[in-house]
Structure 1
Amino acid sequence: MSTENPIFGDVKAVLFDLDGTLIDSAPDLAAAVDKMRIDRGLPSMPLDHYRPMAGAGARGMIGLAFAIGPDHLDFPALREEFFINYANCMTQSTYAFEGVVELISSLQVQGLPWGVVTNKSSRFSEPLTAAMPLFNSAKTIICGDTTPYAKPHPEPLLEAARRMRIDPAQCMYVGDDERDIVAGLAAGMSTVAATYGYLGKSNDPSLWGAHAVINSPMGLLQLLK
């Protein structure tokens, strides 16, 4: 899409999804669920097996590890076991995607405040972001349980805009999942789909209705020129 889209001409703040957009948490998510397999005497699976579903959290990880869904009787217990494992390892191998630190620095130089809107619950989002210096400059961090709703509902994004005291129409939202774009559009924000995260083979970001698509974090700066 054109980098001269006028929709980005009045952006006063940039909001990001967390996993798959700013940080690569797939190694720790995979380790948490793979430990469950190993503890049961099942063979370990490689990170590449888990990565495409890392953005789907417990549902995605447990589905890949044990081929069961949320409607299975064993799912709640497996989910809590996964949560415990993840809490114990979530800062071990998680890192910011290449270019994210430079992107955030550039936003600060331009005087553009930024924040995070994630469906990850505060149980994990708060300690994880507190452990990473990257988030020291974030103006707000909205978790999956900050409001009564989660994406694709627009309320988490609207709450972020309220906390930053910026009109939603002057906010840009960047995410790597269709629900991010749906939420951003419903909130009246300009939207950007990030393709460098956890896209599965069946996902086509060009069909999500985003105002632009970027293939790297630094690609966002071209939209803000």
Structure 2
Amino acid sequence: MIILFDLDGTLIDSTEAILESFSVAYKTFEEEVPADTLIKAEIGHPLDAMFQTLGVKEGKVWDYVYAYKMHYRKISCAKTVLLPQAREAVELASKHATLGVVTTKTAKYSIELLEHMGLMRYFDVLVGREDVENPKPHPEPVYKALSKLQSDTTKCWMVGDTCMDMHAAKAAGIESIAVTCGYGTKEVLGQCTENVHKNALEAITFITSD
């Protein structure tokens, strides 16, 4: 069995670090910082897409992304926490399956975060934004993760907190399971998958008890 995890809102809460880094990026260019609610509504999308949705002109987007990343890399470990029971979820999953991470975060920073939290050793692959041309909801990140894993690919699950995770899983032909501990509501997630649970541990318990 293979179980792929999203990061933000599924295993980790980096909201504080994300909001602070967005604030720094906008202030770097002396622009008004969008409301926290507007930024949080976009979490899960790639940074460039987030900035564009929030009104940054296309020609300036990558300047904002760079400013964001320069600050985020300094604070991410200190201002990111594991979600409740996330560690237990990963430990349980590792007893039953080969594990991977599929995220729209930068892979380099994602690996640093998971190493800092003592979890990276459980994952055989991590696919980040720079590893693919097309991020979630496109299936490419899922395909890339599966291609790097030597395991039974007939039983595969994607665990995430947004419909982008669910759509990527469906497009890649694998099972999906949503968690409400992140940025998606039960009502919205229920439109994307039949399997909605409170957190990653509940999701993994459901998967491994099958």
Query: Which TM-score band applies after superposition, normalised by the shorter structure?
Result: 0.7 to 0.9
SS of the residue corresponding to residue 15 of structure 1 reads strand
Who is 2:145 aligned against? 160
The one of 46, 55, 78 aligned to 1:68 = 55
Instruction: Output the CA distance in 2 between the equivalents of 1:200 and 1:212.
Output: 13
Say whether residues 1:113 and 2:98 are aligned partners: yes
Q: Distance in 2 between matches of 1:120 and 1:97?
A: 17
Partner residue in 1 for 2:70: 84
Greater mean deviation of Cα atoms: 152-161 or 189-198: 152-161
SS in structure 1 of the partner of residue 43 of structure 2:
helix
Q: Distance in 2 between matches of 1:86 and 1:63?
A: 19
Q: Which residue of 2 aligns with 1:94?
A: 80
Contact 1:52–1:200, Cα closer than 8 Å, also in 2: no
- Matched letter for residue 189 of structure 2: P
* One-letter amino acid of the counterpart of residue 85, structure 2: G
Are residues 211 and 158 of structure 1, via their aligned partners in 2, closer, same or farther at CA, if it must alter by over 3 Å?
farther
The question of whether the paired residues in 1 share the 8 Å contact of 2:4 and 2:100 is answered with yes
Per-residue CA deviation, residues 106-130 of structure 1 (Å, 9 max, x unaligned), is 223x432211111222342233333
Q: Give 1:135's match in structure 2, choosing from 120, 128, 150.
A: 120
Q: Alignment partner for residue 196 of structure 1, among 152, 168, 181? A: 181
What's 2:158 paired with? 173
* Structure 1 segments unaligned to the other structure (5+ residues): 1-11
1:196 is paired with a residue of what secondary structure? coil
The size of the alignment, in residue pairs, is: 208
Unpaired runs of at least 5, structure 2: none
Question: Closer, same or farther in 2 for the Cα pair 1:132/1:139, shift >3 Å?
Answer: same
- Deviation (angstroms), 1:187: 1.4
- How far off its partner does 1:40 sit? 7.1
- The question of whether the paired residues in 1 share the 8 Å contact of 2:111 and 2:120 is answered with no
1:215 is matched with which residue: 195, 198, 202?
Answer: 198
Larger Rg: 1
Q: Once structures 1 and 2 are overlaid, which stretch shifts more, 96-105 or 148-157? A: 148-157
Write out per-residue CA displacement over residues 61-98 of structure 1, whole angstroms, 9 at most, x where no aligned residue. 6479xx524x4544332222112111221111111110
> Which range is displaced more, 73-82 or 110-119?
73-82
What TM-score do you get using the length of structure 2 for normalisation?
0.83
The 2-side partners of 1:77 and 1:224 are apart by 44
